[in-house]
Amino acid sequence: MDINPKSILFRDLREGVANVMSRYGPEYWRKLDEVSAYPEAFVKEMMEYGYLAALIPEAYGGSGLGIAEASVILEEINHLGGNAGVCHAQMYIMGTLLRHGSEDQKRRYLPDIAKGKLRFQAFGVTEPDAGSDTLSIKTFARKAGKGYIVNGQKIWTSRVAHSDLMLLIARTTPKEEARKRTEGLSAFLVDLRASIGKGVTIQPIPTMMNHHSAQVFLEDLVIPEENRLGEEGRGFSYLLDGLNAERILIAAECIGDAYWFLEKASAYASSREVFGRPIGQNQGVQFPIARGYASTRAADLMRYEAAALFDKGEPCGPEANMAKLLAADASFEAGNVAIQTFGGFGFAKEYDIERKFRETRLYQVAPISTNLILAYLGQHVLGMPRSY
Ligand SMILES: Cc1cc2nc3c(=O)[nH]c(=O)nc-3n(C[C@H](O)[C@H](O)[C@H](O)COP(=O)(O)OP(=O)(O)OC[C@H]3O[C@@H](n4cnc5c(N)ncnc54)[C@H](O)[C@@H]3O)c2cc1C
């Protein structure tokens, strides 16, 4: 029984991802999780099939699809027991290169990314003293001749050890000298192949889930001027431009997780017998699963609404943020209910529930925390006073 009525949308795409996922079953993800290893083979195959180049226009060798299709690709990875967090950034950071890169930069990088030869998976914004408050970053790119010399530190830069390129946000004007609060940051493409050991040092951060995050130390890193994206000082607005895509894509991953949890929980509740009858016959077990389902369906509607607006080129900030908020809540709720339904087995690694629960928990905090989304809605949509 298919509990997701929207699975009739983009069926070919879903079947294609399912075909790849058939070679990367739960054991694959479980084993990687145990040893904190990166799913090299899976990501390579996804790139070779062109799935991670969904948003690259056909003129640069990609498939030129919309955000709705891209989101379905990530949703299906999570729905089939995997973790799209290992490769999702390529889809949403690409937008900065597409929208603000020069023609020369696009020709230099996009065709090879589309062919699967080049990985663009890392995004360096957060710093130890600046997470939610991006404008307080201190990493500084000082103009020197025909380039920049960068010093500073990033934290939580995910997949940086598994990427060829990193999108780096750094200050080019000190905060106190910027004309406007939101000016003075710039966006750069860092070629990690040439920079690791030459200005870039990576130190992995072990975490509760297999996410390949790291601290990145930048010490006299030389970035040629031709690797700056767009205008100097406008990096923050470029960052904001990409956020709606990021929110919609992560929402879809959470929806995929939620359906995975709900399928597992309802099947187990129907088959596990305690006191001589299926546990799902007890409403105390059944209703929380049904409620999780209702939350997931509602969040999914918001995700498709946000994606439709995005693909029409219309403003979708509130919808994209609400989709992320509702979907992250729904997957957390569904994961929690799945653990409860499985009883002790919910904690056993072989069922994968605890792994997926750890993975989906992240989306309450990153890439933007639930509180910051609520603040955005409260302040920018409902017009209430600013808290920051
Ligand atoms: C596994 C993982 C992967 C990540 N990957 C990346 C990556 O690839 N690239 C990257 O740049 N960053 C990445 N991040 C960083 C992530 O974006 C930040 O963790 C997130 O933005 C929150 O910042 P912070 O951790 O500094 O929390 P803080 O900003 O210190 O906030 C701490 C808590 O206080 C709350 N809070 C703060 N201010 C307010 C307020 N005004 N009102 C209400 N609540 C508030 C927040 O919601 C949060 O819950 C990752 C993080 C994790 C954990």
d(CA 45, CA 31): 18
Mean local confidence (pLDDT), 22-44: 97
Q: Which two tokens stand for residue 288?
A: 């929380």
Give residues with Cβ within 8 angstroms of 121, minimum separation 6: 87, 89, 90, 158, 159, 160, 162, 163, 165
Atom of ligand 1 nearest to the CA of 369: 47
In 172-297, DSSP assigns E strands to 185-191, 200-204, 214-224, 228-229, 273-274, 277-278
Tell me the β-bridge partners of 221: 150
Q: Is the CB of 371 under 6 A from ligand 1?
A: yes
What is residue 235's predicted lDDT score, i.e. its pLDDT? 97
Does 187 have pLDDT greater than 90?
yes
Does 39 have pLDDT greater than 90?
yes
Distance 130 CA to ligand 1 centre (A): 8
What is residue 388's predicted lDDT score, i.e. its pLDDT? 87
Q: What percent of the chain has pLDDT over 90?
A: 98
Contact 279, 287 (CB under 8 A): no
User: Between 3.40.710.10, 2.40.110.10, 3.40.1350.10, 3.30.565.10, what CATH number should domain 120-233 receive?
Assistant: 2.40.110.10
Q: Is the CB of 364 under 6 A from ligand 1?
A: no
What's the pLDDT tens digit per position in 63-102? 999 999 999 999 999 999 999 999 999 898 999 999 999 9
Distance 127 CA to ligand 1 centre (A): 10
Mean local confidence (pLDDT), 221-229: 98
Q: How far is CA 257 from CA 49, 202, 328, in A?
A: 23, 30, 9
Distance 211 CA to ligand 1 centre (A): 15
User: In 3D, which of 354, 348, 71 has the Cα closest to residue 209?
Assistant: 354
The rounded mean pLDDT for the chain is 97
Alpha-carbon dihedral angle through residues 289, 244, 180, 177, given to the nearest 10 degrees? 80
What is residue 83's predicted lDDT score, i.e. its pLDDT? 98
Atom of ligand 1 nearest to the CA of 367: 17
Q: Is the CB of 318 under 6 A from ligand 1?
A: no
Q: Write down the CATH number for the domain with range 237-381.
A: 1.20.140.10
Q: Is the CB of 375 under 6 A from ligand 1?
A: yes
Mutate to test the pocket of ligand 1, among 33, 36, 119, 126 (most ligand atoms within 8 A of CB): 126
Peptide linkage before 367 cis (omega within 30 of 0): yes
Does 287 have pLDDT greater than 90?
yes
Does 49 have pLDDT greater than 90?
yes
217 CB neighbour count, 10 Å cutoff: 15
What is residue 60's predicted lDDT score, i.e. its pLDDT? 97
Atom of ligand 1 nearest to the CA of 89: 8
Residue-range domain boundaries for the chain = 5-115, 120-233, 237-381
Q: Is the CB of 136 under 6 A from ligand 1?
A: no
Q: What three-state secondary structure class fits 36?
A: coil
What's the pLDDT tens digit per position in 122-156? 999 999 999 999 999 999 999 999 999 999 999 99
Give residues with Cβ within 8 angstroms of 180, minimum separation 6: none
pLDDT band for 1, please (50, 70, 90 cuts). confident
What is residue 38's predicted lDDT score, i.e. its pLDDT? 98
What is residue 173's predicted lDDT score, i.e. its pLDDT? 97
Q: Write down the CATH number for the domain with range 5-115.
A: 1.10.540.10
**pTM (2 d.p.):** 0.97
d(CA 382, CA 122): 34
Give residues with Cβ within 8 angstroms of 251, minimum separation 6: 71, 299, 302, 303, 306, 320, 323, 324, 326, 327, 328
What is residue 126's predicted lDDT score, i.e. its pLDDT? 98
